[in-house]
Amino acid sequence: MRTLILKTASDYLLPILLLFSIFILLRGHYLPGGGFVGGLMASIAFVLHAFANGLKDTKKLLKFHPGFLMPAGLLLSFLSGLLPVILQDAAFMTGLWLENPIPVIGSIGTALFFDVGVYIVVLGVTLTIIFTISESA
């Protein structure tokens, strides 16, 4: 099912969906959103690309196996939880925040990195599952 319309559309949709997923990720601290939904959206972007252009192209685009994202994201989340233990001898996962918010992104704290970790894990898991299924199909 490789149509020209879908193919052309997916070229535009991929960056837009990825941007939107990052928007959702950053929005998640006080409003609906966050790492999990963001990660799902980012994976949808790649899945759509795979539908339109074939799995091979998407893999070329990604450059590495999505399974690698799982431990990477876990490690990021883990370290963001560990940081307060190392720096301040506070309890695991205690939120540390920069004093001044940064424009666009807002306040930066360990919670953000935790969420980014979740984002990466979800992206890795979803892509691994879908790639495995469509490879064997």
Chain positions contacting other proteins, by CB under 8 A:
67, 70-71, 74-75, 78, 82, 84-85, 89-95
- Nearest distance from residue 66's CB to other proteins, in Å? 12
Looking at the Cβ atoms of 60 and 65, the one nearer to other proteins is 65
Alpha helices in the chain (DSSP H): 4-27, 35-53, 55-62, 69-88, 110-136
Cα 98 → chain centroid: 23
CB 95 → other proteins: shortest distance, Å? 7
Whose Cβ is closer to other proteins: residue 78's or residue 113's?
A: 78
Least distance between other proteins and beta carbon 89 (Å): 6
Question: Least Å distance between CB 117 and other proteins?
Answer: 11
Whole-number Å distance between alpha carbons of 97 and 10: 38
The Cα 12–Cα 30 span in angstroms is 30
Which of 86/137 has CB closer to other proteins?
Answer: 86
109: left (phi over 0), alpha (psi -120 to 50) or beta: beta
